[in-house]
Amino acid sequence: METINITVMHPTNNADIDLGLPENILLGDVFNQLIDANFLSAGQPYTGVLKPAGARKENVPLDNDKTISANGVGNNDTIQTLISTPAG
């Protein structure tokens, strides 16, 4: 199993954390682990976007129910964490 090295950005203070993750971990599980590590606050619904890099020129919305690799996240990519708010 390959390890993917990424940077995750905090949704409000732009702090970041570098992580080495197994390619088959679900994005939602990454957020749960960051909550357990006190990087993110509990009780918030988090989502993420993949920041532009290389040929990717725009943010790419990520799916919490897909693995890191299925979301197209690669080595040295950056995920901006967002707090989801219900539409309405």
Tell me the C-alpha distance between 6 and 62, whole Å.
Answer: 14
Which range marks the domain in which residue 69 is found? 3-83
CATH code assigned at 8: 3.10.20.90
Domain contains 26: yes
- For the chain, how many structural domains are there in total? 1
Mean pLDDT by 10 residues, the chain (88 residues): 94 95 96 97 95 90 97 96 80
> Can you tell me which residue has the tokens 């890191």?
68
pLDDT in the model for residue 85: 77
Domain contains 7: yes
Domain contains 88: no
pLDDT in the model for residue 11: 94
Tell me the C-alpha distance between 48 and 27, whole Å.
Answer: 8
